[in-house]
A and B are shown apart, each in its own frame.
Chain A
Amino acid sequence: MSGRRVMVTGLGPVTPVGVGAEAFHAGQLAGRSAVRPITRFDASDLPVRIAGEVDLPEELRPARREAAVTDRVTHLAAAAAELALRDAGLDPATADGTRVGVVLGTGCGGTEAYRDGAVALTRRGPNGIGARYVPTSMHNASAAWLAIRHGFSGPVTTTVTACAGGADALVAAHQMIASGEADVVLAGGAEAPVTDLMVSGFARMRALSTRNDEPERASRPFGADRAGFVLSEGAAVLVLESAEHARARGARPLAELRGYGRTGDAHHIVAPRPDGSAAARAVTVALRSAGLAPEEISHVNAHGTGTVRNDAAEAAALRAALGRLALRVPVTATKSLTGHSLGAAGAVEAVAAVQTLTHQVVPPTANLDRPDPAIGLDVVRHEPRDTSVSAVLSNSFAFGGHNVALVLTLP
């Protein structure tokens, strides 16, 4: 990998299993899924009535004015950024804002605003739509809001690659820092899809688990009885920083974002390429860019959604890219705990990957009482596994066939 080294110096996870690095880590180790009956709207007439929802602590909730002029997705992003900045010990008031960028991934943008606007249009006509409709629903609103809120005027952009958006944001941020375009980037993803519009949309695709009576048991990546993913809201922001910038301000690097690989399936708008060959290539490219051999990967944070097709294709990809290592490298699927937060997921899981490096422990995949024998991976289950972790592969695969593999290492 050419250019400046890129370190992770702060973590801001905002997830159903925990808000803040400490709570998120503890929630992962507890290994219990946070999926629950939907409370954000009345889902009683929907075929899917469960989701992962975030309970923001009082101090991270948006102020009244902020709540009125931004969508839920931006509230989650703002909370994640706040946590990440605190964790990194980076004070926006004293930072050179011109050298700080923001990149966020999102699959759906402001879905509540979008939905409310469409309803208003139908009910009241063109003048029924509020003046805030566009600025609250547009996909780039969250990244722009963070820039405005903190005075960060370096490169500010948004990656809209569905379930790989969060990982793509980290790649974009890496490129900004490696090339010298920015010294620090707030990078991550945010998603707030727990609306009747989005839950119905995904349910109509038959993509979601309908295990409404057992929410905690619904997200079951790599299980023999997996039957779809569980939609989730959430956000995660990581502070990425050039190694020299971190050193100069005395910041402690938690990990290095060492490499990445990206490919496209060029196959189907939502179904993964069954042989996982393009996803495998993303992993291979990521390893090469990190300068690592497959055997040097000590843990895989899988995309692991719990759909029949994703998990099978991902297992095939790992076998193809890692060879015999795929049989014994410990794998975990964070989505078994959080549900699938789409454009936030890649960033949420990058946080989880960093934490495995820091704590030298791989959290379990929940609900894996009966692993699918066709998967053929060592998926950690039932309890956390203490293990030596020096390099983690984190996968994100998306509707649209976007494959993004990240490699994170000890600093």
Chain B
Amino acid sequence: MNSTAHQHLVDVLADRLGLEPEELTPDARFREDLGLDSLDLVELVSALENELGVPVTDEVALSLTSLGEVVAQVDALRATASPAAEPAA
């Protein structure tokens, strides 16, 4: 994921989850450090799907514990995603 895409993801998550962008460092843990709950993780997944056009399963979503992992997952999913799997905007 390039730095522009990374920053965009940070901005979207900050907006959707009500966090300060500075809080969203790669190693900040969602639950322990940012106080997020399962609803936030669903929001996070929606944001990823809407913004990046990458489908994310619930299993993957619930396994994510930090922004760094999200970025890694996005890169992995993008590498394997077929255009047909992209959700409608």
The reply to whether A68 and B17 form a contact with Cβ atoms under 8 Å apart is: yes
Question: Quick check: is A131 within 8 A (CB to CB) of the other chain?
Answer: yes
Question: Quick check: is B73 within 8 A (CB to CB) of the other chain?
Answer: no
Residues of B within 8 A of A68 (CB): 15-18
The reply to whether B19 and A64 form a contact with Cβ atoms under 8 Å apart is: yes
Residues of B within 8 A of A130 (CB): 16, 42-43, 46
Q: Which of A51-72 contact B (CB under 8 A)?
A: 63-69
Residues of A within 8 A of B19 (CB): 64-65
Question: Quick check: is A135 within 8 A (CB to CB) of the other chain?
Answer: yes
Q: Which of B14-70 contact A (CB under 8 A)?
A: 15-20, 35, 39-40, 42-43, 46, 49-50
Question: Quick check: is A132 within 8 A (CB to CB) of the other chain?
Answer: yes
Residues of A within 8 A of B15 (CB): 68
Q: Tell me if A's interface is mostly helix, strand, loop or mixed.
A: helix
Instruction: Please pick, from B18, B49, B88, the residue contacting A64 in the complex, using a CB distance under 8 A.
Output: B18
CA of A66 to CA of B18 in the docked complex: distance in angstroms?
A: 7
The reply to whether B39 and A135 form a contact with Cβ atoms under 8 Å apart is: yes
- Chain A min CB distance to B85 (Å): 14
Number of A-B contacts (CB under 8 A): 34
Using CB atoms, name the residue of chain A closest to B44.
A131
The reply to whether A65 and B17 form a contact with Cβ atoms under 8 Å apart is: yes
CA of A132 to CA of B30 in the docked complex: distance in angstroms?
A: 17
Question: Interface readout for A114-147 with B: 1 if CB under 8 Å, 0 if not?
Answer: 0000000000110100111001000000000000
Using CB atoms, name the residue of chain A closest to B14.
A64
Residues of A within 8 A of B87 (CB): 127
- Chain B min CB distance to A166 (Å): 28
The reply to whether B43 and A67 form a contact with Cβ atoms under 8 Å apart is: no
Residues of B within 8 A of A63 (CB): 18
- Chain A min CB distance to B45 (Å): 9
- Chain A min CB distance to B42 (Å): 4
Question: Interface readout for B65-89 with A: 1 if CB under 8 Å, 0 if not?
Answer: 0000000000000000000000111
The reply to whether A131 and B18 form a contact with Cβ atoms under 8 Å apart is: no
- Chain B min CB distance to A71 (Å): 13
Instruction: Please pick, from A67, A125, A135, the residue contacting B18 in the complex, using a CB distance under 8 A.
Output: A67
Residues of A within 8 A of B39 (CB): 131-132, 135
CA of A361 to CA of B1 in the docked complex: distance in angstroms?
A: 67
Using CB atoms, name the residue of chain A closest to B49.
A127
CA of A130 to CA of B43 in the docked complex: distance in angstroms?
A: 6
- Chain A min CB distance to B63 (Å): 17
CA of A132 to CA of B42 in the docked complex: distance in angstroms?
A: 9
CA of A68 to CA of B20 in the docked complex: distance in angstroms?
A: 11
Residues of A within 8 A of B43 (CB): 130-132
CA of A104 to CA of B6 in the docked complex: distance in angstroms?
A: 42
- Known interface pairs A127-B87, A131-B39, A132-B39; A65-B46 also in contact (CB < 8 Å): no
Residues of A within 8 A of B16 (CB): 68, 130
- Chain A min CB distance to B52 (Å): 15
Using CB atoms, name the residue of chain A closest to B16.
A68
- Chain A min CB distance to B9 (Å): 16
Residues of A within 8 A of B50 (CB): 124
CA of A68 to CA of B89 in the docked complex: distance in angstroms?
A: 22
- Chain A min CB distance to B25 (Å): 16
The reply to whether B18 and A69 form a contact with Cβ atoms under 8 Å apart is: yes
Using CB atoms, name the residue of chain A closest to B34.
A65
The reply to whether A131 and B42 form a contact with Cβ atoms under 8 Å apart is: yes
CA of A87 to CA of B32 in the docked complex: distance in angstroms?
A: 35
Residues of A within 8 A of B46 (CB): 127, 130-131
- Chain B min CB distance to A63 (Å): 8
Residues of A within 8 A of B89 (CB): 124
- Chain B min CB distance to A110 (Å): 15
CA of A16 to CA of B64 in the docked complex: distance in angstroms?
A: 44
Which 4 A-B pairs rank lowest in CB-CB distance, beginning with the nearest? A68-B18, A131-B42, A65-B18, A131-B39
Interface residues of B (CB under 8 A from A): 15-20, 35, 39-40, 42-43, 46, 49-50, 87-89
A sample of 20 cross-chain residue pairs with beta-carbon separation below 8 angstroms, ordered by A number, consists of: A63-B18, A64-B18, A64-B19, A65-B19, A68-B15, A68-B17, A68-B18, A125-B88, A127-B46, A127-B49, A130-B16, A130-B42, A130-B43, A130-B46, A131-B39, A131-B40, A131-B42, A131-B43, A132-B43, A135-B39
Further pairs besides A64-B19, A124-B88, A131-B43: 10, Cβ < 8 Å: A65-B18, A66-B18, A68-B16, A68-B18, A124-B89, A127-B46, A127-B49, A130-B42, A132-B43, A135-B39
